[in-house]
Amino acid sequence: MNRLDPRIHQFHQPLQTPQKNKAKTKTDTSFQKVFHEAQTLKISKHAEKRLKQRNIEIDETKWNEISNKMAEAKSKGVTDSLVITNQAAFVVSTKNNTVVTALGREEAASQIFTNINGTIVLED
C-alpha cells in the first residue's frame, strides 16, 4: 500500500468554489482605503498653519500635479524633497506623501533648505 507523506496530505484540499464573504469585503475595502490614503497628498498641521499665515492658495489641479511628481520622485528613491511652484515652495516627505512646510516663493528665494535629497520644479 502506497501512503502519502502526511505533510503533503495535510495541505492537499479539494478545489472549492469561491464564495463571497462579508469579512473579505471588509478586508478588501480596508485595503482599498489604505491604498488610496497612501496615494493621497497630506498636509501636516504645521504646513497648513504656514499656508494660512502666508496666504498661499494652491488649487486642486496643482495639488494633484505635486502629488504625481512626488510619486515619481519616490519611485526614483527621493525621500524628502523641495517642491517649487510659481506661488510657493514646499518641503515634502515622499515617504508618507506629506507636505511638511510651506513658504511663499519670494521668502523661499533667500532660504537654505536642508535634509532634502531631491527637488521638484513645477512652473505654470
The answer to the question of residue 36 being in a domain is no
Interval 86-98: pLDDT, tens: 999 999 999 999 9
Q: Which of 10-19, 70-79, 90-99, 113-122 has the lowest mean pLDDT?
A: 10-19
The answer to the question of residue 27 being in a domain is no
99 vs 34: which has the higher pLDDT:
99
Interval 31-62: pLDDT, tens: 555 555 556 889 999 999 999 999 999 999 99
Domain encompassing residue 92: 41-121
Residue 110 is given by DSSP the state T
Task: Count Cα neighbours of 110 within 13 Å in the Cβ-side half-sphere.
Answer: 3
49 vs 21: which has the higher pLDDT:
49
The set of residues, in sequence order, having a beta carbon less than 8 Å from that of 44 and lying 6+ positions away, is 98, 99, 100, 101
The answer to the question of residue 17 being in a domain is no
The answer to the question of residue 11 being in a domain is no
In the predicted model, is pLDDT for residue 113 greater than 70?
yes
The answer to the question of residue 56 being in a domain is yes
The answer to the question of residue 21 being in a domain is no
Number of domains the chain contains = 1
